[in-house]
Amino acid sequence: MASCTDHMVVEKMSRLCLLLLSFSCVAAPQGIIRDFLLSLSSPSPSPSIAEWWRTVRLYADQTGSNVTGSFVLAGELHDSAYSHGATLSRLAIQSIIRSAVTAYPQRLPLDPHGGLYLVLTSPDVRVEDFCREVCGFHYFTFPEIVGVTVPYAWVGHSGSQCPGMCAYPFALPDYMGGASNANGSGGGIQVLGAPNGDVGADGMVSVIAHELAEMSSNPLINAWYAGSDPAAPTEIADLCIGVYGSGGGGGYVGSVFESSKGEGYNLNGVKGRRFLVQWVWNPVKNSCFGPNAID
């Protein structure tokens, strides 16, 4: 792993601010995602989400301070009126954050010291490059737009737009025949049922985990990454895309758990939740790793 540490990774307690675009009438995805976020720093049966986050905590800044292990969900804002439209550019995500932190009478807190901002869009919202190049992305806000610099990430709900790309292994890619529901066979490709019954939301969880891990270890795109080009960094989750268990890679998710109903998962969360979350790069083991590893 190469690193550039002009700025700190996220330390101390992080305040997660959640912006849900047009999700206000869809309770199930909200509950799945909220319980995942709460699981980051809450005890759950092993192997757990909190144990998975311990790998992210191995990353430190130039002072030796590690990524935080404490999160608080500081606020949520729902935009069911599509106030920025239903077709968004990447840059528009920053304007959405600006609107959220300046809204009246209810607004999200603006925390430039420990704040992480998640913008999540519902299935009917289209975002630039979604389903073609990305399932989510992270960056930092520009002061001329938001007023301060804060790390943020956007993740889209792929349930109807591209489940085979952004919710795999709960659905097959189109070139393999596609699938809106992942309980069938995939012609030798491992296809699993969504552990919480929602292909789009369960797929979002792993993408959110991916972006949170990278947003925390490389918040201003100048901290931890592999390679020599900070403009196109390969970050700690990029190195492990598609790997969820021991032996994973090349379209095989690895050794994960499967319920009697065919629901695939590798980690436990709060309230009895189960999640399938990709592994991240462990700088001590020098390999991809998760707490469900069997070797």
For residue range 176-194, list pLDDT tens digits in order: 765 444 444 444 567 899 9
pLDDT in tens, 265-288: 999 999 999 999 999 999 999 999
pLDDT for 107 beyond 70: yes
CB 7 within 8 A of CB 225: no
pTM above 0.75, yes or no: yes
pLDDT for 228 beyond 70: no
Percentage of residues of the chain with pLDDT beyond 90: 63
Say what the pLDDT of residue 178 is. Answer: 57
The lowest-confidence range among 1-5, 174-178, 230-234, 249-253 is 1-5
CB 165 within 8 A of CB 179: no
Check residues 38 and 14 and name the one with the higher pLDDT. Answer: 38
Element (H, E) at 35: helix 27-39
Q: How far, CA to CA in Å, does 21 sit from each of 82, 86, 156, 268?
A: 7, 9, 10, 27
E strands of the chain, at which residues?
Answer: 2-3, 13-21, 70-79, 87-88, 115-121, 126-127, 136-140, 151-156, 224-225, 257-258, 264-265, 267-268, 274-275, 280-282, 287-289
- pLDDT grade for 15, boundaries at 50, 70 and 90: low
- On average, the pLDDT of the chain sits at 86
pLDDT for 214 beyond 50: yes
> SS3 of 41, please?
coil
The 8-class DSSP code of residue 75 comes to E
pLDDT for 45 beyond 70: yes
The lowest-confidence range among 144-158, 183-197, 209-223 is 183-197
Q: What is the dihedral of CA 274, 275, 281, 285, to 10 degrees?
A: 20
Q: Phi/psi at 143 (nearest 5 deg)?
A: -55, -30
Cα first-last separation, the chain: 22
Could you write out the three-class secondary structure of 189-207?
ECCCECCCCCHHHHHHHHH
Say what the pLDDT of residue 263 is. Answer: 97
Average pLDDT estimate for 129-133: 95
260 CB-near residues (< 8 Å, 6+ apart) = none
